[in-house]
Structure 1
Amino acid sequence: MALGRKGARRIVVDGTTYRWRLRRRPTYSQALCWSPCTFAVEHADHPGTTLVVTTNRPHAGNWFERPADPVLPSDVSHAIESALRQGWRPELQGSPFHLDRSAGFAPSP
């Protein structure tokens, strides 16, 4: 699963360049605040395994105007560092690596 270049942002962590992307529009489940916001990360030069990070906040475009903090580059950097410690190998081909940081997310009823 490769990220599209359009809308992807670059970030450098420990001297390695990555690209990350957050969906502009929420999925149906995210729009209803049933599931939290997610973003994807891949190695910029040699994309392989994609990192999919589930946050603990609603998507900013949710339909209920529920307060949502933006995903900051520092959040992405911390997620990349954590995933690397947990065994993510961004240059190797394979299934997406999931990093679940959704603890504390309260879905809407």
Structure 2
Amino acid sequence: MMVLNKKGSRRITVDGIEYRWRIRRKPSYVQGLCWAPMSYAVEAANANQSGTTLIVTSGQAHPTNWLGVAAAPIRPADVAASIREARNQGWDPDQAGSPFPLDRSAGFVAQP
């Protein structure tokens, strides 16, 4: 189980369910070098439950990468689409378990 830090997370309601999502403020080493795309985490906003976290791998570079590669922001519509796709693939945010990975990185080109 992984719990999102409330500080820096944003709320979103998708199909009547409230979630929190967060992008890591600083890129990881491989994201900073644009060897791997940016990822973000999503969980149900109900703080009383310890459910499964959704880990979404986007198809774009982290906006604060060290190479200055242009990156589009992750929009709430992107997060909502990821949540719906993960739910269709079996993600249950109320069920305890390991983080649920969702790979949306098709088309990402790592920098040499």
TM-score tier (shorter): over 0.9
Distance in 2 between the 1:3 and 1:89 partners? 16
3-state SS, counterpart of residue 79 of structure 2: helix
Alignment match of 2:75 (pick from 72, 76, 93): 72
3-state SS, counterpart of residue 69 of structure 1: coil
Equivalent residue, structure 2, for 1:28: 29
3-state SS, counterpart of residue 76 of structure 1: helix
Equivalent residue, structure 2, for 1:54: 57
* Structure 2 unaligned spans of 5+: none
Aligned length: 109
* Structure 1 unaligned spans of 5+: none
**Identity across matched positions, percent:** 54
Moved over 4 A (4+): none
Deviations 1:36-73 (A, max 9, x none): 00000000013400000000000000011101000010
Equivalent residue, structure 2, for 1:104: 107
Distance in 1 between the 2:61 and 2:8 partners? 20
- What root-mean-square deviation, in Å, do the aligned CA atoms of Structure 1 and Structure 2 show? 0.6
Equivalent residue, structure 2, for 1:89: 92
3-state SS, counterpart of residue 10 of structure 1: strand
3-state SS, counterpart of residue 4 of structure 1: coil
